[in-house]
Amino acid sequence: KAGVTQTPRYLIKTRGQQVTLSCSPISGHRSVSWYQQTPGQGLQFLFEYFSETQRNKGNFPGRFSGRQFSNSRSEMNVSTLELGDSALYLCATRGETEAFFGQGTRLTVV
Amino acid sequence: QQQVKQSPQSLIVQKGGIPIINCAYENTAFDYFPWYQQFPGKGPALLIAIRPDVSEKKEGRFTISFNKSAKQFSLHIMDSQPGDSATYFCAATGTASKLTFGTGTRLQVTL
């Protein structure tokens, strides 16, 4: 069974730009969650999608958004990038109970 | 109420030792407690998980102990090896599927 695939693995963007990250879940997993990981704040929940609907949302500004497609693939978008958005963005997909993470996308904002 | 407190922040043990990482939670609605292992440049990998209806769960060299009344749980790594050197995160979740993570413990196993 293929794991969770995130693309791209690395990104460098300039302040003010926007970025789109992609996550392909494990086959059969319909729940996709996104997390931001930074040295200072640790792992923080961004949002969760299930069957193309946002089911849960963390405490992040509206610049952070996401969507899920009918094949369960998900994208997250960050608009008007700030230096503080530099982080590892992780996608997790869930079956019955267990959540499995992808390798993450390392975003650097310069 | 959503916090999960994890300690210690870092830990150094010799090969064969038994590192113990502790976590405490506040939200009594949490009913699933996984532990994740993360190597540099990789995503967290699920190690072992427990529900509050059992007090201990063992998988290979990894054991979770759970104390429901104290709202605490811990990870023990038996016969630790240098390859276990990584950052370990405890987490908790309830009916909502979002995971609330501890702050992580950086473990170093020396020869």
**Residue B1 reports pLDDT greater than 80:** no
Local confidence band at A81 (pLDDT 50, 70, 90 cut-offs): very high
Q: What is the DSSP string of A24-82?
A: EPPTT--EEEEEEEETTTEEEEEEEEETTEEEEE-S--TTEEEEE-TTS-EEEEE-S--
Determine the distance in angstroms separating the CA of B104 from the nearest CA of chain A, rounded to an integer: 8
- Residue-wise pLDDT for B80-108, tens only, equals 999 999 999 999 998 657 899 999 999 99
Q: How confident is the model at residue A70 (pLDDT cuts 50, 70, 90)?
A: very high
Q: How far apart are CA A93 and CA A4, in angstroms?
A: 7
- In order, the DSSP letters of A88-99 are EEEEEEESSS-E
Chain A residues within 8 angstroms (CB to CB) of chain B: 4, 6, 31, 33, 35, 42-45, 48, 50, 55-56, 58, 90, 92, 94, 97-104
- How much is the average pLDDT of A12-35? 96
The pLDDT of residue B2 is 63
Q: Quick one: average pLDDT of A55-60?
A: 93
**Distance to chain A for B48, nearest Cα, Å:** 10
pLDDT tens track for B14-73: 999 999 999 999 999 999 999 999 999 899 999 999 999 999 999 999 999 999 999 999
Closest-approach residue (CA) in chain B for A47: B98
Closest residue, chain B, to A31 (C-alpha): B97
Q: Would the pLDDT of B7 be above 90?
A: yes
